[in-house]
Amino acid sequence: MLGLKMVTEGLIRREGADVDFVIDPPIADKIARMKKRVQWQAEPIREREIDQTALVLDAAESDAPAFSFLVVGDSGSGPHRGHNPQRRIAEQMVAQRADCRFVLHTGDVVYLVGSDEYYPKNFIEPYREFLVGGERPEQIAYDKMVFNQPFLPIPGNHDYYDLPFLYGLVAQTMMPLRRLLGFKLDLDVGWRGSDQGKIYAKAFLDYLKAFETDAELERHLDRHYTARTAAGRCLRYRPGIFTRLPNRYYTFRTGGIDFFALDSNTFNAPAPLAASDEGEASRRDLEHQRAELEFHKQQMLELSDRLEPDEEEGCEQLEELRTKIEQLEEMKMDLDKQLHADPSAVIDFEQLEWLAERLVASWRDPAARGRVIYMHHPPYVTEATKWQQAQTLAVRRRLRRVLDAVHRQVAERTQGRPLVDVIFTGHAHCLEHLRTLDTGHADAHLDIVICGGSGFSLRRQRPEGPVLTEQFGAPTELEMREVARSQLFVGRNGLGEHKRRPYSFLRVDVEAGNPPRLVVQPLIAEQHQGRWTSDRLAPFSLGRAGDRIAQGR
């Protein structure tokens, strides 16, 4: 046992060395493997002219233009230190679900590395009322889930993460021995992680790779791909019977609103550093930032060894350290993406071109009265750890290019409306409503709502405040311009005995009319001094059809 402890300590805390805690697969691998899992454009699929990026909701209720839905994100944690924020949120969702048409999930379904071992505790158990057979959640396999109400996720970065094999082996071997060996930080890790998104795919996608013969595949397609849209045949999503998604990104229409679910994990890679003196200066600065983060992480790990989890104060401090270490690892990974950015790296232009084509088609279709995008990574955010991440800026830049291209084709149809009524995202562990200003691009005057505080560790707003700025102009004439302003931020706040953790999800009411009016109702489960309270914040309206109703509590 002593030897096992030494191996673990060597993996977690090597003096003067750095060990990657998680592995984010290359974008090219994510794309290629996900295509194989859904047998992308296999011969039987092409023969039937099936669109693998669309689904039709086969719901019992009518497709009336006035409807409601729920939004949740970054939820995938289980109980820690005697409390389970995700379950608190799920209980409130159950109270709202009766008159809601579906649930959107903005990603990070299971922390920490999308491992199948943690689906029972971190997803199936908390959301049991949304699952067929949920009265006995322990009998539901993660790859056999059937939802009794449409539950429509997109993958987050943690749903793609992997774990170094040796680390996973030691972590799992030690699970029953952590207290005995003095390993006090409780982290939800499995043996390997997500296997490059395979676990998420088997849990939620129509995993066509499982069919061994074309005959089996053809029978399946003829049974479940019976719906039609303007783009051809597509999957029919039937609550209680067949609740699989056709692809990692997809679209559907309900009540005249087109929803576009994106996999932002494949177009969030930062641009490489310039091969110049300025680029080298940036590299040195990034390396210095990374070294500082690693130093702080080592300090926290050493502090955790001196705390006692059986004591109330020690338990609280260990929870704080766990949260901070996970936060530092995310920040280090973003720095690594910048330091090792490859000019030849694959970017998912196929998905971005698909989005542009479908948005144009939506604007040219008189039956479509509104458009909603949801994805994991936000293009704008003021949460302290995400606002200036290279991934945030990369998503902003690439989404802008798509919207600019769409605007050139449909500008005369929009009559001044934004191209989409709202963008829902996660990734930042908070609830936030931002509105973009005049960005000089087609993402101006957009509503962005971040729903990433539904169960995992919450974050604070950046100390710089609610206004985001950006550099415009030529290098010799740079101008700082305001590009977005936060209208509402709900995250971790207070210190010591005044610390509050307001976890959140959203109810969205879509009203009839064109343009549609979307009213967002934030719902809160807050932990303060060991007690839980439920709350509703003032609702706010999105889009051209209405301004903010109220702000704050």
Q: Give domain status of residue 312, yes or no.
A: yes
CA torsion through residues 23, 189, 155, 68, sign: negative
* Predicted local confidence at residue 112, as pLDDT: 86
* Predicted local confidence at residue 547, as pLDDT: 44
Residues of the domain holding 333:
277-339
Residue 61's pLDDT band (cuts 50, 70, 90): low
Residue 311's pLDDT band (cuts 50, 70, 90): low
CA dihedral (404, 405, 408, 413) in degrees, to 10, reads: -90
Q: Give domain status of residue 332, yes or no.
A: yes
Q: Report how many domains make up the chain.
A: 1
SS3 140: coil
How far apart CA 379 and CA 401 sit, in angstroms, is 12
* Predicted local confidence at residue 549, as pLDDT: 37
Compute the average pLDDT of residues 494-518: 93
Compute the average pLDDT of residues 200-217: 97
Q: Give domain status of residue 307, yes or no.
A: yes
- What tokens were used for 552? 């704050």
Give the rounded percent of residues in the chain with a pLDDT score beyond 90: 67
Residue 189's nearest CA partner among 128, 123, 110, 106 is 110
Residue 266 has pLDDT above 70, yes or no: yes
How far apart CA 29 and CA 266 sit, in angstroms, is 10
Residue 181's pLDDT band (cuts 50, 70, 90): very low
3-state helix, strand, coil in the chain (%, to 5): 40, 20, 40
Q: Give domain status of residue 162, yes or no.
A: no
Q: Give domain status of residue 126, yes or no.
A: no
Model confidence pLDDT, tens digit, residues 277-306: 776 777 787 788 788 878 887 887 777 777
Compute the average pLDDT of residues 487-508: 93
Please give the radius of gyration of the chain, using alpha carbons only, rounded to the nearest integer.
23
Residue 38's nearest CA partner among 235, 262, 210 is 210
Residue 205's nearest CA partner among 154, 161, 162, 156 is 154
Compute the average pLDDT of residues 465-484: 87
Considering the chain, what is the average pLDDT of its residues?
Answer: 87
* Predicted local confidence at residue 191, as pLDDT: 63
Q: Give domain status of residue 495, yes or no.
A: no
* pTM for the predicted model, two decimal places: 0.90
Residue 473's pLDDT band (cuts 50, 70, 90): confident
How many C-beta atoms lie closer than 10 Å to residue 492's C-beta? Answer: 21
Least confident of 27-31, 123-127, 161-165, 361-365: 161-165
Least confident of 25-29, 286-290, 520-524: 286-290
Residue 387's pLDDT band (cuts 50, 70, 90): very high
How far apart CA 223 and CA 352 sit, in angstroms, is 30
Residue 261's nearest CA partner among 273, 274, 275, 247 is 247
Which residues, other chains included, contact 303 with Cβ-Cβ below 8 Å and sequence gap of 6+? 317, 321
* Predicted local confidence at residue 497, as pLDDT: 79
How far apart CA 349 and CA 495 sit, in angstroms, is 44
Residue 242 has pLDDT above 90, yes or no: yes
* Predicted local confidence at residue 187, as pLDDT: 59
Residue 178's pLDDT band (cuts 50, 70, 90): very low
How far apart CA 145 and CA 140 sit, in angstroms, is 7
Residue 51's pLDDT band (cuts 50, 70, 90): very high
Q: Give domain status of residue 308, yes or no.
A: yes
Model confidence pLDDT, tens digit, residues 536-550: 999 999 965 444 333
Alpha-carbon distances, residue 288 vs 16, 205, 284 (angstroms):
15, 41, 6
* Predicted local confidence at residue 322, as pLDDT: 72
Model confidence pLDDT, tens digit, residues 323-358: 777 777 777 877 777 788 777 778 999 999 999 999
Q: Give domain status of residue 267, yes or no.
A: no
Compute the average pLDDT of residues 385-403: 95
For residue 92, the number of C-alpha atoms closer than 13 Å in the C-beta half-sphere is: 25
Residue 180's pLDDT band (cuts 50, 70, 90): very low
Beta strands in 456-552 (DSSP E): 467-472, 479-490, 501-510, 518-528, 531-536, 540-542
